[in-house]
Amino acid sequence: MPLEPQHARPTIAPNAHLAYNLAQNHYSKRSVLVIVGVSKSEIKVHRKKIKITGRVQGVGFRPAVYRLAVQLQLTGLVYNDTRGVTIELQGEESKITEFVKRLNGTDAPPLAQIESFVTFDLPTVAEEQEFTISPSDTGGTPASRVTADIATCADCLRELFDEKDFRYRYPFINCTNCGPRYSIIKTIPYDRPNTTMSVFKMCEQCGSQYKDVADRRFHAQPVACPKCGPKVWLTDNKGRTIATGTDNVIAETARLLREGKIAAIKGVGGFHLAVDAFNNTAVSRLRERKLREHKPFAMMADSIETIKQHAAVSEQAEKLLKSPEAPILLLPKKADSTTLGTGDSAIAASVAEGVNTFGFMLCYTPLHHLLFAEGIEVLVMTSGNISDEPLIRENDKAIERLGGVADVFLMHDREIHRQVDDSIVHLINDKAVLLRRSRGYIPTPVLMRQTSPQEIFAAGADLKNTFCFVKENQLICSEHIGDLEDTEVYHHYINSIEHLRGLFETRPKVVACDLHPSYLSSQYARSMADVELVEIQHHWAHIASVIAEYGVDGPVIGLACDGTGYGTDGAIWGCECLIATLDDFERFGHLDYYPLAGADAATKEPIRPLLSLLMQAYDKQFDLGKLGRLLERIEPDHTKQNIICEQIRKGINTMQTSSLGRVFDAVAAMVGLGNYNHFEAQLPMALESVADPNCDQQYDFEISERTILDLRPMIKQVVADVSKDKDKTVISAKFHNTLAAGLLEMAKSARQAKGLDTVALSGGVFCNRYLTNRLIRLLKEDGFSVLFNCDFPANDGGISIGQAAIAARRILKRG
């Protein structure tokens, strides 16, 4: 009897729901399932070969196979190969069937994600006595050589608080199913001597577990214990030791945090700056010292129950928070969840002002668990850096750079080789959507349906930069790098490219970058010698990231909405309706151009796009005097207002743009939400936060025959509403509803002209939950199928994936 087709569906431990969900996504998008089993044998002993691809290396897969085979009295062998894992099994047919069932179910290692599972019949081997793990097949490149950093697993957590365990209260307990990986690896292969754990000599007890194939710590490279592994200590802000010994260090740190002190805590991917989230004075002090006045802080909580006191946590949200990736999840604030007081059990108002969400994560290292067990409920846990510099990972540098910010430093001597920020996720249409793809997700490759004949490097964008390599059928995306404008970030970018290139042994001869003439990432790409350069339009790359993620052929109707991207006509694009495949795109429609004065200043000062939009809307009737009251709140300096108007009229330092992001800025400023973007999208986020979800009204807009979206009627109506002192919650909702309706009309017009009914959404504007949820609903109600980024950010963090996918297609096509 042939084996039943096995739907590759690993069973996941209770804390591994995200892996499961992501795996599910992958099956629906890129399911590869081939069963070639034909059994014609009459004899009792059978032999099968099973080839498995997916995340099956570095996750304890071979030991799990070994244990199961031995238990079922099967002989044979298992080894890693270039695509995943290959197993040969010999024994009774019923046992083999049970093996396949259990490996796809209860016996799969928690971190495994099986993508395909293929079986073949083999002739039996005489006198085979045992099952062995054979050395890796050395031909070619191992498919997934390095795995991500994973949150403490349930087994390790239990041992951490078990007095009888020899790792009781050990801050670095880990096993094959959890602990640091990517952040500690220096070079391949992923073996202990190539990690920052090489300086710690394993004791006998750890060594015997490491060597025992039946043990949970078999080949767990960072395995350690209090006797042989890293240690913690506490210093003051000059680096002088003030406490040693785990218990002292933990108790003292907790005490100081409760007193309102700022602690720098060394974690997995770098330092965090921590402070009591209930203490408004302490949080404000952290803001001042870190030079981060406005941007919301992320928080870490001791339990789901604690998070539920402050934010709305859906079932899906709970799964994400408890997942092995343990990301920061943006959750709706509960009403009255903040306070201006001190020592209360409400979140300090200064943690996250101007937004309607809190960013929460759960403890994800044993050190966090020990610290929070001292009666701490919620800490602000923000990146250990100044302003937008790269995360700090070295002890010395932490004292040097953060000595003026933190009062104390919780240090350890497990070196961090790669800094990795916390990942950020939110829910769109009840699906997990990554806003920042870093710790827990990096460097797990995403598999393409086809193998690229050449290796590719994609340089990404300048804001929220990530870069990407294509090797064989893998898209290997970097962690979040940051905004390249900062010199330190730019150096970090260059170093990171070299590091990842080494880890994946790739020397690409094809290089993709943004069309922008002055992006630093593009300049870097253009400076590379002996490569074929592919320059790709920004919004096409956005839509391509969705096409690549879902593995569709297209063409799709691509709605790409963001702040700025360089267009093929030299204008600044930002609200585009593209008809796109990975081969090509056509600009089908866009937001009507308006002139934007002041280059960089225009992204910070909303008065600039606002004056442009007002001048365009009122045309000859435009009168600065009549708009005086409205404009004065935003820019009291009349001379400056006049200069900007003159600039726009004469076209001095002025660009034509279809940026939707700047329209958000203008409307946010009109309703009184601020007159400056202190960080990217501050005003748009504030505008989204106040939108009344129960308001269904909208403003007027027009769409021309050439699918040019005209928002002039809306701008005038907003001015009227503002001058009538209409509530900003209503104006904001009407504004969002208008955009959703306008984008829907663009999609309908593309459908009518091209006969397409799949819409792909991408670009930073779709990080807006209100707009995106509403637009998805409207599109679906109108019969469209809707694709939107989940595994990669819709913001510029996803650009490198789109660039890589387009370049890969180009190479494939020419063969």
Residues engaged in binding Zn ion (CB under 5 A): 153, 156, 175, 177-178, 203, 206, 225, 227-228
Please give the structure tokens belonging to residue 47: 């032999």
Q: Which is nearer to Zn ion, 373 or 624 (CB)?
A: 373
CA gap 187, 146 in Å, rounded: 10
* Min CB(245)–Zn ion separation in Å: 17
Q: Which is nearer to Zn ion, 159 or 721 (CB)?
A: 159
* Min CB(152)–Zn ion separation in Å: 6
Q: Which is nearer to Zn ion, 156 or 634 (CB)?
A: 156
* Min CB(171)–Zn ion separation in Å: 14
Q: Which is nearer to Zn ion, 156 or 286 (CB)?
A: 156
Residues with Cβ within 8 Å of 164's Cβ and at least 6 positions away in sequence, in order, are none
Q: Which is nearer to Zn ion, 205 or 316 (CB)?
A: 205
* Min CB(182)–Zn ion separation in Å: 16
* Min CB(111)–Zn ion separation in Å: 10
* Min CB(200)–Zn ion separation in Å: 8
Q: Which is nearer to Zn ion, 213 or 703 (CB)?
A: 213
Q: Which is nearer to Zn ion, 153 or 275 (CB)?
A: 153
Q: Which is nearer to Zn ion, 261 or 368 (CB)?
A: 368
Residues with Cβ within 8 Å of 180's Cβ and at least 6 positions away in sequence, in order, are 149, 174, 222, 268, 414
Q: Which is nearer to Zn ion, 217 or 810 (CB)?
A: 217
Task: Please tell me the number of Cα atoms within 13 Å of 520 on its side-chain side.
Answer: 18
Cβ atoms of 64 and 103 within 8 Å: the answer is yes
Task: Please tell me the number of Cα atoms within 13 Å of 414 on its side-chain side.
Answer: 33
Residues with Cβ within 8 Å of 133's Cβ and at least 6 positions away in sequence, in order, are 62, 63, 65, 66, 77, 78, 79, 213
Please give the structure tokens belonging to residue 447: 């598999």
Please give the structure tokens belonging to residue 618: 């009122």
Describe the chain by its helix, strand, coil percentages, rounded to 5.
35, 20, 45
* Min CB(220)–Zn ion separation in Å: 8
Identify the three-state secondary structure at position 541. helix
Alpha-helix runs per DSSP H in 9-126: 17-30, 61-71, 93-103
Q: Which is nearer to Zn ion, 61 or 701 (CB)?
A: 61
**Number of other CB atoms surrounding residue 619 within 10 Å:** 9
CA gap 167, 161 in Å, rounded: 9
Cβ atoms of 520 and 484 within 8 Å: the answer is yes
Q: Which is nearer to Zn ion, 228 or 528 (CB)?
A: 228
CA gap 16, 156 in Å, rounded: 14
* Min CB(210)–Zn ion separation in Å: 9
* Min CB(328)–Zn ion separation in Å: 22
* Min CB(18)–Zn ion separation in Å: 16
* Min CB(258)–Zn ion separation in Å: 29
* Min CB(201)–Zn ion separation in Å: 9
Please give the structure tokens belonging to residue 167: 């790792």
Instruction: Give per-residue burial for 476-515: e unless 16+ CB within 10 Å, then b.
Output: bbbbbbbbbebeebbebbeebbebbbebbebebebbbbbb
Q: Which is nearer to Zn ion, 355 or 373 (CB)?
A: 373
CA gap 154, 138 in Å, rounded: 34
87: β partners: 50, 78
